[in-house]
Amino acid sequence: MTRAGIAAAGLREELDRFAAAGLLLRVEHPVSARFEACAHAAEAGDARAVLFAEVGSAARAVAMNTTGSRALVATSLGVRPEDFAERYLEALSAPVPPEAWPAERGAPPVHEIVVEGEDIDLTTMLPVLTHHEHDGGPYITSGVVFGEHDGVRNLSYHRMQLRGPRETGIVVVQRHLHRMLEAADAADEPLPVAVAIGLDAGMLLAAATSGSAAPYGFDELGIVGGLRREPVRLVPGRTVPLQVPACAEIVIEGHILPNTRAEEGPFAEFDGSYEHGSERVFRASALTMRRGAIYQGLVSGSVPQLNIMGLPNEAVLLRAIRAAVPGVERVHVTLGGLRKFHAIVSVRTRIAGDAADAIVAAFAGHRDLKQVVVVDHDVDVFDAEAVERAVATAFQPDRGLVLLPRGRGNPVDRSLDPDGTTSRMGIDATRPVGSEPPVRARIPGRDRVRLPAGGGTAPPPELSPRG
Ligand SMILES: Cc1cc2nc3c(=O)[nH]c(=O)nc-3n(C[C@H](O)[C@H](O)[C@H](O)COP(=O)(O)O)c2cc1C
Ligand SMILES: [Mn+2]
């Protein structure tokens, strides 16, 4: 049973919650790890998670689309979909630090199976998926990379291209893990890392929370602890001097080689364009798993990936706007805006100027944001038609439009100026402060109507809120 406000403590518990809520599609026939699993996941759509019984020559179970919708993420976190951002912000603001796996519980699940050194063969032991037509082979895309340096832990994602039984490429952009890698390069020492695969939504979202909300030195695992209302349990790695999560399905331990680069790619990035170049190299020293470990697949550019990267932005925005305008109620960072460019914010306005200040605070809170629509508290930010109705009936362009001058844009946006800048737009679709919401005409007795059965198929139950 799902306890209110308490996140699933691992992928298996999450899948149980999905199954209980009718949000899990099981594929029992064997499918290939090359394209076929991804093709099935794409065709299945985003409303349900997919659990494959047997993928690839490893014949291992694979979970996909576990973050395909707000409803799935909310089910995993034990909250109503509309309460996601509030709950995530609570965890971000009151993190619960991880603790050691208690010795009296014996060996942790993630160490039920341990393979070390020369015995490791990532190409046969894991069903690593090949995603797109021109990708340069199988890629680990859902692995959360744990790094530690000078007492600082970091969680982040880094795509890993399989290159041999124990070797992969690893793409490390200039963020937190890169900082650790620079120190390792300077000392010419390999950087120990552990790659956790097979994780619940709380862990996946925490690892993707951006550096502005989780600066260097902030342990992303604290967010997970906050979401679960209990600390994440950690155990020492078998071959690396860092802690790994006891609840992961799979952990690959190893090192990023210092001052070493090798050809990497091609790989279809999240905007659908292929990338290749010269990237870092990872060498595995241990592969540890739970019995019957479930691998996790994540297609680049898919809705499940956009949700992982973008849903934490709602909490970040909620915090930033609330600091300026206490009456902010809900934030929706839309899927159409790639979960980063467009936000809808509802505000219980108290004094004139609240809506415009909410717009400015939103842009200050999240740099990628390009368009924000502010509506009154009685408008459902997840209902696109209701938002449009508010714009249609409460917004006056000559005084409700806030245009910001050119700031830094995101390269995914093809409309940027050649210098990489963008302008930004806020739409104040709130009524004058103090005015009452329009009265909605009701038809008495509608709730007692029982229509005759038959004569058409009922639409599927609404997975409210949309988006
Ligand atoms: C599915 C997924 C794949 C990603 N792939 C990469 C990658 O290959 N290389 C990279 O440097 N960042 C990648 N990122 C982005 C970062 O891992 C992500 O922004 C993370 O929050 C950075 O953490 P940090 O702030 O602790 O550095 C990916 C993110 C996601 C969600
Ligand atoms: Mn970080």
- Please give the Cα distance from 67 to 74 (Å, whole number): 9
Give the distance (Å) from ligand 2 centre to CA of residue 176.
5
Using alpha carbons, select from 359, 332, 346, 366 the residue that is nearest to residue 431.
Answer: 346
CB 48 within 8 A of CB 463: no
Are residues 262 and 374 both part of a single domain?
no
- Please give the Cα distance from 44 to 128 (Å, whole number): 20
Give the distance (Å) from ligand 1 centre to CA of residue 295.
19
> What is the position in ligand 1's atom list of the atom closest to the CA of 173?
11
Question: pLDDT-derived band of residue 264, with 50, 70 and 90 as boundaries?
Answer: very high
Weakest-pLDDT range from 41-45, 294-298, 417-421, 449-453:
449-453
- The model's pLDDT over 197-233, given as tens digits with 9 standing for 90+, comes to 999 999 999 999 988 899 999 999 999 999 999 999 9
Ligand 1 atom 31 nearest Cα: 309
Return the number of other C-beta atoms located less than 10 Å from residue 461's C-beta. 7
pLDDT of residue 50: 98
Rg (CA), the chain: 23
Query: 152-157 and 144-149: which strand pairing?
Result: antiparallel
CB 149 within 8 A of CB 203: no
pLDDT of residue 273: 87
> What is the position in ligand 1's atom list of the atom closest to the CA of 176?
27
Helices (H) and strands (E) in the chain, counts: 12, 22
Report residue 347 CA to chain centroid gap.
26
- Please give the Cα distance from 344 to 380 (Å, whole number): 10
Are residues 366 and 222 both part of a single domain?
no
Indicate the average pLDDT of the chain: 95
- Please give the Cα distance from 454 to 178 (Å, whole number): 61
Ligand 1 atom 18 nearest Cα: 208
Please choose from 144, 149, 155, 156 the residue to mutate so as to test ligand 1's pocket, defined by most ligand atoms within 8 A of CB.
Answer: 156
Tell whether the model's pLDDT for residue 463 goes beyond 60. Answer: no
Are residues 253 and 292 both part of a single domain?
yes
Ligand nearest to the CA of 222: 2
Are residues 15 and 122 both part of a single domain?
yes
Give the distance (Å) from ligand 2 centre to CA of residue 444.
55
Give the distance (Å) from ligand 1 centre to CA of residue 294.
22
- The model's pLDDT over 312-325, given as tens digits with 9 standing for 90+, comes to 999 999 999 999 99
Residue 464 lies in a domain: no
Mapped onto helix, strand or coil, the DSSP state of residue 11 is helix
Residue 461 lies in a domain: no
Mapped onto helix, strand or coil, the DSSP state of residue 405 is strand
| Burial class of residue 412, CB neighbours in 10 A (0-12, 13-18, 19+) | middle
CB 235 within 8 A of CB 109: no
Bond prior to 465 in cis (omega within 30° of 0): yes
Looking at the DSSP assignment, which residues form a beta bridge with residue 267?
Answer: 275
pLDDT of residue 155: 98
Long-range contacts of 308-311 (CB under 8 A, 24+ apart): 308/67, 308/204, 308/205, 308/208, 309/208, 309/270, 309/339, 309/340, 310/338, 310/339, 310/340, 311/67, 311/70, 311/73, 311/84, 311/85, 311/88, 311/205, 311/339
Are residues 197 and 239 both part of a single domain?
yes
Are residues 268 and 374 both part of a single domain?
no
Are residues 259 and 337 both part of a single domain?
no
Token pair of 120 as six digits: 């490791």
CATH number, domain at 294?
2.30.110.10
Question: pLDDT-derived band of residue 27, with 50, 70 and 90 as boundaries?
Answer: very high
> What is the position in ligand 1's atom list of the atom closest to the CA of 220?
26
Token pair of 371 as six digits: 């368009």
| Burial class of residue 48, CB neighbours in 10 A (0-12, 13-18, 19+) | buried
Give the distance (Å) from ligand 1 centre to CA of residue 158.
6
Ligand 1 atom 9 nearest Cα: 158
**Domain total in the chain:** 2
- Name residues with Cβ closer than 5 Å to ligand 2, which is an ion: 154, 176
Residue 154 lies in a domain: yes
Are residues 283 and 395 both part of a single domain?
no
Give the distance (Å) from ligand 2 centre to CA of residue 213.
9
Ligand 1 atom 23 nearest Cα: 156
Using alpha carbons, select from 188, 206, 174, 10 the residue that is nearest to residue 91.
Answer: 206
Mapped onto helix, strand or coil, the DSSP state of residue 111 is helix
> What is the position in ligand 1's atom list of the atom closest to the CA of 207?
21
Helices (H), 336-432: 354-365, 384-394, 397-400
Ligand nearest to the CA of 156: 1
> What is the position in ligand 1's atom list of the atom closest to the CA of 209?
21
Are residues 66 and 148 both part of a single domain?
yes
Residue 356 lies in a domain: yes
Helix (H) or strand (E) holding 361: helix 354-365
- Please give the Cα distance from 113 to 62 (Å, whole number): 17
Using alpha carbons, select from 60, 59, 53 the residue that is nearest to residue 25.
Answer: 53
Residue 383 lies in a domain: yes
Question: pLDDT-derived band of residue 8, with 50, 70 and 90 as boundaries?
Answer: very high
CB 166 within 8 A of CB 334: no
> What is the position in ligand 1's atom list of the atom closest to the CA of 214?
25
Please choose from 73, 131, 157 the residue to mutate so as to test ligand 1's pocket, defined by most ligand atoms within 8 A of CB.
Answer: 157
Give the distance (Å) from ligand 1 centre to CA of residue 442.
49
Ligand 1 atom 17 nearest Cα: 157
CATH number, domain at 386?
3.40.1670.10
Ligand 1 atom 5 nearest Cα: 158
Residue 445 lies in a domain: no
Residues with Cβ < 8 Å from 162, sequence gap 6 or more? Answer: 122, 123, 128, 137, 138, 139, 140, 168
Using alpha carbons, select from 370, 353, 387, 270 the residue that is nearest to residue 317.
Answer: 370
- The model's pLDDT over 165-193, given as tens digits with 9 standing for 90+, comes to 999 999 999 999 999 999 999 999 999 99
Angle CA(45)–CA(50)–CA(53) in degrees, nearest 5? 145
- Please give the Cα distance from 376 to 151 (Å, whole number): 45
Q: Of 272, 304, 336, which residue sits at a domain end?
A: 304
Q: What are phi and psi of 125, to 5 degrees?
A: -85, -20
pLDDT of residue 455: 66
Q: What is the mean pLDDT of residues 347-368?
A: 96
Residue 436 lies in a domain: no
One-letter identity of residue 198: G
Are residues 266 and 363 both part of a single domain?
no
Q: Give the binding-site residues of ligand 1, using a 6 Å CB cut-off.
A: 141, 154, 156-159, 171-173, 175-177, 208-211, 298, 305, 308-309
Give the distance (Å) from ligand 1 centre to CA of residue 325.
31
Ligand nearest to the CA of 152: 2
One-letter identity of residue 358: A
Give the distance (Å) from ligand 1 centre to CA of residue 156.
5
Are residues 255 and 338 both part of a single domain?
no
Give the distance (Å) from ligand 2 centre to CA of residue 287.
24
Report residue 183 CA to chain centroid gap.
28
Ligand nearest to the CA of 275: 1
Domain that holds residue 398: 325-429
Residue 271 lies in a domain: yes
CB 372 within 8 A of CB 325: no
Looking at the DSSP assignment, which residues form a beta bridge with residue 328?
Answer: 347
Are residues 151 and 243 both part of a single domain?
yes
